[in-house]
Chain A
Amino acid sequence: MIHSPRVTRFLQATASTLVLAVLWQIASLFFPHYLFPPVLDVVKRTLDIFLSAPQLVEVLVTAGRIFAGLAGAFVLGAIVALLIGRSPFIESYVTPVLVFLQGIPALSWVVIAIIWFHGIEFRIFFIMVLTTLPAFTFQILDAFRSMSKDLFEMTMAFRPRTWTLFRVLIVPTIVPGILTAWKVNLGNAARVVVVAELVGATGGVGYQLLRQQQLFDMAGAIAWTLQLVLFVLVVQQAIVALENFLLRYRAVSERAM
């Protein structure tokens, strides 16, 4: 029987998840349940969160913080990348700062944000933006610089206005880089937001994880973690679908399928 590549990939992912679940279930037979709760308990807790409005709101709050942080970093990163791309002078001063920012751990930003700011939401937004800004900037800059000189000269031969040049050439050129940047930064942002909420928030998945730790509730901890994992997977798939649509012009070798 011949399956499409998508179905094959889904079956492979399902198989590896099932193996992991079976191994976990076996471990639960030999270890106390506060260390390895049965798979069914974890599934039940996960569904409970999903079906309970107040608990689902906690997940959505975290999702909102991730999106807000990423959107902020993306807009700021795009502006900085375009400024750097247009001016070697700006590049020579801004790039070292971005490299410096890249080296600062997320936890340090959490501490700094707590000391500097009062509002919880602003603290988390600040942490999210600062931790993902350098990656967004460098990825958008790379995409901008990979623009074909041939296509640039061809387009310039028609004498476009700046905005038209941006629309017909620059945006389509950097779209693949932007999508990759979102995919990469989404995973990073999900990890950072949990740390930020764990230390400096009174709601969200990170805060719930802190509560599960205090209650020594492993099933709850995994269930809340799974909410975030599922959220990242859904958004990743949405980005992949968008990518497949926007980059449908790309030729694919039959051997690569």
Chain B
Amino acid sequence: MADTQPVIRFRDVNKVFRRGNGRGDLLAVDRLSFEIAKGEIVAVLGKTGCGKSTMFNLVSGLIEPTSGMVEVIGHDPFREFAFFRGKIGIIFQNDRLMPWRTALDNVLLGLEILDVARERAEAVARGWLARLGLSGHENDYPHALSGGMRQRVSIARAFAVEPEILLCDEPFSALDEMTARDLRAEFLRLVQQNGKTAVFVTHHINEAIEIGDRILVFHRPARIALEIHRGRNPDDERHAREQILQVLALEDAAP
């Protein structure tokens, strides 16, 4: 169950990208404000190019807001970069495994960066690989693994550092539907079991409804067009789906 204390807080955040070559500036995030409480799983839904990934990069501290305030665990993720060592785990759209590292060594990466003793780190990494059904593949290089297995390794890598916050940027969009469904269920179980706060970016309505305790629907440039606290009975889900479809259709109809 979610705590009331916000772990992620956006206050009137703007992000403008300078495009150069006389093409003017691009407003990617427009006065975005929201809060995410501890233990909450929030799905961020929107069409391609609506600024979901920009919001994601702002939370992870990879880019700085042009104006406004981004606060994660009470700190600025861009300026206080080192504070977040081990506190944020990221699962990207593509697996982003290092091709020169085995599955085990890829999971060990975050633990190595956190200076965890090798023996303990290896035990943790092996444990996560086993939980994700990859026992026996520890010494395989990424090229020898299927897409689903590689994404499992990247999930293990994110969980292994025991982060307080998990950021997921369309992590299953490159997988076939069957594999994605299995991994979604696996991911949800792990997040709930470990009490993580998670931001899950997606452009699939069903995925957002299945995963999120709360769903934020974005319009371009990134601003919240709809916020839904998801109920757990089929009628609630149907109602949520209809609301989302209406809001997305409105964006299409906008001039």
A-side residues, CB < 8 A to B, are 150-151, 153-161, 164, 168-169, 172, 247, 249-251
Cross-interface CB contact of B112 among A159, A168, A250, cutoff 8 Å: A168
Complex Cα gap A155–B141 (Å): 18
- Name A157's closest neighbour in chain B (CB-CB): B90
Interface residues of B in 75-117 (CB under 8 A from A): 81-82, 84-86, 88-90, 92, 94, 96, 98-102, 109-110, 112-114
Q: Please measure, in the bound complex, the distance between the C-alpha atom of A156 and the C-alpha atom of B112, giving whole angstroms.
A: 13
* Contact residue among B82, B89, B98, B144 (Cβ-Cβ distance under 8 Å from A151): B98
For B94, the chain A residues whose CB sits under 8 A away are 150
Q: Which of A156, A164, A249 makes the CB contact (< 8 A) with B143? A: A249
**Contact in complex: A154, B112 (CB < 8 Å):** no
Residues of chain B lying within 8 A (CB to CB) of residue A247: 100
In the bound complex, residues from chain A placing their C-beta under 8 Å from that of B88 are 157
Give Cα A249 to B94, complex, Å. 19
- B85 touches which of A151, A159, A249 (Cβ 8 Å): A159
B109 A168 Cβ-Cβ under 8 A: yes
Chain B residues lying within 8 Å of A150, measured Cβ to Cβ, are: 92, 94, 96
Smallest Cβ-Cβ distance to A148: which chain B residue: B96
Bound-state Cα–Cα, A153 to B57, Å: 10
In the complex the two chains form, is A157's CB within 8 Å of B98's CB?
A: no
Taking CB atoms, residues of chain A closer than 8 Å to B82 are: 159
Closest chain B residue to A248 by CB distance?
B141
23 contacts between A and B (CB under 8 A): A150-B92, A151-B96, A153-B92, A153-B96, A154-B90, A155-B109, A155-B113, A156-B62, A157-B62, A157-B88, A157-B89, A157-B90, A158-B86, A158-B109, A158-B161, A159-B84, A164-B112, A164-B113, A168-B112, A172-B98, A249-B100, A249-B143, A251-B141
The residue of chain B having its C-beta at the shortest distance from the C-beta of A175 within the complex is: B100
Known: A158-B85, A159-B81, A159-B82. 6 other contacts (CB 8 A): A150-B96, A154-B90, A157-B88, A249-B101, A250-B143, A251-B144
- Report, nearest first, the 3 A-B pairs whose CB atoms are least far apart: A251-B143, A159-B85, A154-B96
Q: Which B residues lie at the A interface, using CB under 8 A?
A: 60, 62, 81-82, 84-86, 88-90, 92, 94, 96, 98-102, 109-110, 112-114, 141-144, 161
Most buried by A among B62, B89, B109, B113: B113
A157–B62 Cα distance when bound, in Å, is: 8
Chain B residues whose CB sits within 8 angstroms of the CB of A251 once the complex forms:
141, 143-144
Which residues of A are found within 8 Å of B89, using beta-carbon distances?
157
B81: min CB distance to chain A, Å: 6
Residues of the A chain whose Cβ atoms lie less than 8 Å from the Cβ of B110: 158
- Are B96 and A158 closer than 8 Å at their CB atoms? no
- Minimum C-beta distance from A180 to chain B (A): 16
From the candidates B86, B90, B92, B141, name the one contacting A249 in the complex (CB within 8 A).
B141
**B143 — nearest CB in chain A belongs to which residue?**
A251
B113 touches A168 (CB 8 A): yes
Instruction: Give Cα distance in the complex from A226 to B144, angstroms.
Output: 43
Determine the distance from Cα of A251 to Cα of B145 in the docked complex, in whole angstroms. Answer: 11
Asked if A172 and B109 make an inter-chain contact with CB atoms under 8 angstroms apart, the answer reads no
